[in-house]
Amino acid sequence: MQDNRRKIRVLVVDDSALMRKLISKLLERDEEIEVIATAIDGYFALSKVAQLKPDVVTLDVDMPRMDGITALNEMVSKHQIPVIMLSSLTTRGAALTMQALEKGAVDFICKPKSAAQVGEMADELLSKVKGAVHSNVLALNAQSADGKTPTRKKVTSPPPRRAEYKIVAVGASSGGPHALRYLLPRLPADLDAGIVIVQHMPESFTSMMARWLDDICDLEVREARDGDLAIPGRALIAPGNRHMKVKRTAAGCEVRLDDGPLVNGHRPSVDVLFRSVAEQFGSSATGLIMTGMGSDGAQGLGDMKKAGGLTIAQDKESCSVYGMPRAAQDRGAVVKVLALTEMPTYVIGTVGRMVDLEESYAGTR
């Protein structure tokens, strides 16, 4: 836990001397932050971590000699230090970032395309460093280490139409990829609800995360497209930079994407998704608000609760960043608080499974 009587001590790691200087200047604009050292690669970074014991490390993903992924392994496993990755907005950058998140990085920031644009990332950088210092690295380690081999029972066709459709809506931010990597593989392909997810991430990263999750899940997981159906056994992730809403139709839960203004500083926004779920599905919906900084989703979860939906928040101990769940609880929007390890079983028990319905129908014939 960070001592509030002193500044947040940050180590900046980047192979570019210019980027080290610019990032350090951005951080030191804030009186709560002190850059205690910089490093040009993973070797120097690990030496300085052991010597100086920083509160947070900003770590470039792609560096010569020892890259960020290799250095991250030791920083997380040996020192339990919160690490924020700095990544490029490329397909390769997205893939490396997913790998870093899998190995225990708390969060990431996309580098601007040029040094002249570095100032544009100032607010995000400062807020994520301040959030990271309160993160639970041990919880991230536990989630990363607890893998699952799927049985690959993917949904191949939509289920028969029926009068009532159920939906599970999930919102997450910092630490969310870890939490989703724990939750989704433990939900069966015959889960009797479609799943819609907002995870704060930029464009190209959400599609990479969807493929990353699909590879380990019995559920079908993919980035949402406008008009997609959130059918039982399928999880749809909002694409970066687009809001996602749902609409009840004769075919079930249809996803609608739009380019509306930022909400709570985000697009996609969890609040936008949750509000539409409340309006369209009422008591047939379950809402999960998971790890993340800020308050996005708190108001929308409250709308779901008022509409009769079941609202669940991840507990403090299993969150890497206990911001969004806390904001939702403070607003009285939460019906149930659960540890991440309890969520899969609880969701299955609440929503049910298609096979159970089919068996009950067969028994009445």
Tell me the pLDDT tens digit for each residue of 144-178.
555 554 444 555 455 555 557 899 999 999 889 88
pLDDT tens digits for range 96-111? 888 888 888 988 988 8
DSSP-assigned beta bridge partners for residue 107:
84
- What are the tens digits of pLDDT across the range 276-291? 999 999 999 999 999 9
pLDDT confidence of residue 363: 42
Give the least confident one: 12-21, 34-43, 121-130.
121-130
Which amino acid is it at 345? T
Bridge partners of residue 287, in order along the sequence: 169, 311
pLDDT surpasses 90 at 238: yes
337 pLDDT band, cuts 50/70/90, is very high
DSSP state of 203: T
Please tell me if the domain spanning 8-134 has the same topology as the one spanning 167-364. Answer: yes
Please provide the average confidence, as pLDDT, over all residues in the chain.
Answer: 88
> At CA 285, angle to CA 322 and CA 266, rounded to 5?
45
CATH of domain 167-364: 3.40.50.180
| Structure confidence at residue 144 (pLDDT) | 56
List the catalytic residues. 173, 200, 296
| Stretch 183-187: mean pLDDT | 95
Q: Compute how many other C-beta atoms are within 10 angstroms of the C-beta atom of residue 238.
A: 27
Interatomic CA distance for residues 256 and 253, integer angstroms: 10
Pairing of strands 252-258, 194-199: unpaired
Examine the pLDDT at 359 and tell me if it is beyond 50: no
Q: How confident is the model at residue 20 (pLDDT cuts 50, 70, 90)?
A: very high
Confidence of residue 203 (pLDDT cuts 50, 70, 90): confident
112 or 169: whose pLDDT is higher?
Answer: 169
* Domain 8-134 CATH assignment equals 3.40.50.2300: yes
365: pLDDT confidence band, cut at 50, 70 and 90? Answer: very low
Pick the more confident residue, 344 or 320.
Answer: 344
Domain positions in the chain = 8-134, 167-364
Handedness of CA 102, 105, 106, 109 (dihedral sign): negative
Token pair of 168, please? Answer: 């599970």
Q: What is the pLDDT of residue 124?
A: 85
